[in-house]
Structure 1
Amino acid sequence: MIKKETIKVLVVDDHPIVRRGLTTEINLDRGMLVVGEAVDGQEAVDQYKLLKPDVVLMDLVMPNKDGIQATREIMMEEPEAKILVLTSFIDEERILEAIKAGALGFIYKDKHPEQVLAAIREINNDVPVLAPNITRKLMRETQTKPEETDIQDLTERELEVLKMVASGRPYKEIAYTMHVQDATIRTHVSNILGKLNLSNRSQLVLYAIDHKLVE
């Protein structure tokens, strides 16, 4: 029986050795459990629909359907999906596309297992995991969006939520602070994204940084 607080993870990678290594490390953590594995993007989409994991660890380059397309399809199925992209090489453009598709962050495969586990925890708490170089690229795109809406369109409550999300506070903590349900915070975030013409939570954080709403 899976404990309620256990983070359920779907591991997606076309290399058996990588999948086995990740699965072993994740299952050694008492707070996590690998509930499924997938060998390509299509299987990732199918497994996500079936298993509804808390976090998807998604390889970027795979046969049949890559991690970017799989991320897009999963986000269409579940806009609140939490996807952490895995990559073995520095390809800023592909990583950027994955983030724009809805991934909450990325991490290199050669990172220490503890760093991977820490990233999974952050993603599970709705906290983006982004490197400075990718952050700068996303910020430049956010700055030049022609359809960007003025922040004055946000209500006082939405602005408060935006600042707390951008500060890296988990939705549950924000909900507790504001004395509301988690679902209410998610609704606020969805409304904020719509008003600011942003695609996902990563862009929301970068928007807040760019507009000096957080330090």
Structure 2
Amino acid sequence: MTISLLVVDDQASVREALAVMLDLADGIHVVATATNGKEAVAAVAEHHPDVVLMDLHMPVMGGAEATGHIRAASPDTQIVVLTTFDDDDSILAALHAGASGYLTKEADRAKIEQAVRSAASGQAVLAPEVQRRLLSLASRPARVEETFTLTAREREILGLIGEGLRNPEIAARLVISEATVKTHINNLFAKAGFHSRADAVRYALGR
């Protein structure tokens, strides 16, 4: 299946380079580009891309605000942020708005391509430097009441998902089998009503 992609960046040189580079990748087709968040919202409504590669700080409308509008109007469209900013406020604003991935512009071509593919399959993608920043955030005490009850192990696994760990890494960290990890994840997804790993990441960070 070919992944349709919208590239959003206010810098023409960056936007055009990304569009050309990713359109050449196997299984990825760039259907449009946009120079700001407002244009991105309109482009999604017109082209219905599978994934949007979104800059954050842009004129007219920023990437986080545009992400919120896009996710509300087109929940099947996944957003991967690609930005120079990796501060806590920028990361949380994007993830809380509904982004399923966050990369900095230090990422190479292979990482960007993989992020697009992972987002299209519903997986959360976080750059290593972003994961490090989220370690402390994910370990903070809960700030809101849950409307569902998780076991201690499910809560532990949810926190590790929030750190960006994959199933094999969670299994190694907890010294349990990967099959057991999958069982716990299926249970907590059912309880919490999560539809994707990105939903779990956003919930873990918003606690």
When the two structures are superposed, what TM-score results if normalisation uses the length of structure 1? 0.70
Alpha-carbon distance between aligned partners in 1 of 2:22 and 2:121, rounded to the nearest angstrom: 17
Residue 109 of structure 1 and its aligned partner are, at CA, apart by 1.2
What is the correspondence of 1:58-207 to structure 2 with a 5 Å cutoff?
Answer: 58-130=54-126, 131-140=130-139, 143-151=141-149, 192-193=193-194, 201-205=197-201
For structure 2, which runs of at least 5 residues remain unmatched after alignment?
168-185
Q: For 1:192, give the aligned amino acid.
A: G
Number of residue pairs aligned between Structure 1 and Structure 2: 173
CA pair 26-189 structure 1, distance change in 2 beyond 3 A: farther
Deviations 1:28-76 (A, max 9, x none): 1121010000000000000001100000000011000000100011111
When the two structures are superposed, what TM-score results if normalisation uses the length of structure 2? 0.72
Tell me which residue corresponds to 2:50: 54
Residue 190 of structure 1 and its aligned partner are, at CA, apart by 10
2:40 to 32, 37, 44: 44
- Note if contact 1:83-1:102 (Cα within 8 Å) is conserved in structure 2: yes
Alpha-carbon distance between aligned partners in 1 of 2:9 and 2:103, rounded to the nearest angstrom: 14
Alpha-carbon distance between aligned partners in 2 of 1:146 and 1:22, rounded to the nearest angstrom: 39
Asked if residue 15 in structure 1 is aligned to residue 15 in structure 2, the reply is no
Alpha-carbon distance between aligned partners in 2 of 1:189 and 1:96, rounded to the nearest angstrom: 25
Alpha-carbon distance between aligned partners in 2 of 1:137 and 1:110, rounded to the nearest angstrom: 22
Aligned residue for 1:151, secondary structure, equals coil
